[in-house]
Amino acid sequence: MSQISKALAQFTQRYVALHAQHQQPLSYFCGRAEQQSPCIIGEVEHGCAQWQAVPRAVANNVDFESLSQALELALPIDYEDFFRFQYAPPMAFRSDFGQGELLQCWDDEDFHMLKENLIGHVFMKRQLNLPPTFFIGVMDDETRVLSMKPHQPELYLEILGQSDLIQVALSLHEFLEQLEPRLTSSQTVELNTAPQSSTELSWWDNMKIWLYNKTR
Give the 3-state DSSP-derived string for 89-141, with helices as H, strands as E and coil as C. CCEEEEECCEEEEECCECCHHHHHHHHHHHHHHHHHHHHCCCCCCEEEEEECC
For 171, phi then psi, to 5°, come to -160, 160
Domain ranges, residue 80: 3-214
Residue 189 buriedness (CB in 10 A; 0-12 / 13-18 / 19+): middle
Residues 6+ apart with CB under 8 A from 192: 209, 212, 213, 216
Q: How far apart are CA 196 and CA 154, in angstroms?
A: 33
- Largest separation between any pair of C-alpha atoms in the chain: 48
Q: What is the CATH number of the domain that holds 22?
A: 3.40.1580.20
pTM across the whole model: 0.83
Residue 214: the pLDDT is 36
Q: What is the pLDDT along the chain (216 residues), one digit of tens a residue?
A: 899 999 999 999 999 999 999 999 999 988 765 668 999 998 888 888 999 999 987 544 567 888 898 888 989 999 999 999 999 999 999 999 999 999 999 998 889 899 999 999 999 999 999 999 999 999 998 899 999 999 899 999 999 989 999 999 999 999 999 999 999 865 434 434 333 333 445 555 555 444 444 334
Q: How many domains, in total, are found in the chain?
A: 1
Among candidate residues 150, 87, 152, the one with its CA nearest the CA of residue 118: 150
Residue 196: the pLDDT is 39
Among candidate residues 173, 192, 213, 185, the one with its CA nearest the CA of residue 29: 185
Position 151: which residue type? H
Residue 46: the pLDDT is 83
Q: How far apart are CA 119 and CA 5, in angstroms?
A: 24
